[in-house]
Amino acid sequence: MNRYLFICAGTVLLGVGGVVADGVLKSAQVCAAEEQVSFKGDIQPLLKWRCSGCHEGTGEGVQKSGLDLSNYAGLMKGTKFGRMVIPGDPESSNLMMLLDWRVAPAIRMPHGKKQLSSCDRDAIRTWIRQGAKDN
């Protein structure tokens, strides 16, 4: 699995992002450009590792929701209740709501298991923000 790194630069100087207020230079935080996240290299292996037990083939998650995470088409098709991914908008995507546990405990994912790490959730969030491409 390819891994990427969120790199946040510390202080940015005046002329590059600093701000002068009341004669005092205030620093600003800036994040370096993020690396492109790949569905095939980053997201699909993560989904296979953490979600395929229920959301593949005849798994319980497929039977209950209709969500098949075995491939890109299944993820983008969504569930019988609606879309899971809104390309470009991770915070409104149902997938992120479920994975971030911003929903009722009974439907948090992965159901009955430990929450995905913040790093894994950030990878999915970044992929969605970058357009949720089949790359």
What is the tens place of the pLDDT at every residue in 35-59?
A: 999 999 999 999 999 999 999 999 9
pLDDT band per the 50, 70, 90 thresholds, residue 34: confident
Q: Are 98 and 54 in contact (CB under 8 A)?
A: no
- What is the chain's mean pLDDT, rounded? 83
Taking the CA of residue 97 as centre, how many other CA atoms within 13 Å lie in the half-sphere pointing to its CB?
Answer: 13
Q: Are 57 and 39 in contact (CB under 8 A)?
A: no
Cis before 45 (ω within 30): no
Domain boundaries, the chain: 1-35, 39-129
Give yes or no for residue 120 having a pLDDT over 60: yes
Q: Are 99 and 90 in contact (CB under 8 A)?
A: no
pLDDT at residue 22, as a whole number = 52
Q: How far apart are CA 27 and CA 32, in angstroms?
A: 16
pLDDT at residue 9, as a whole number = 32
Q: How far apart are CA 114 and CA 1, in angstroms?
A: 20
pLDDT at residue 28, as a whole number = 43
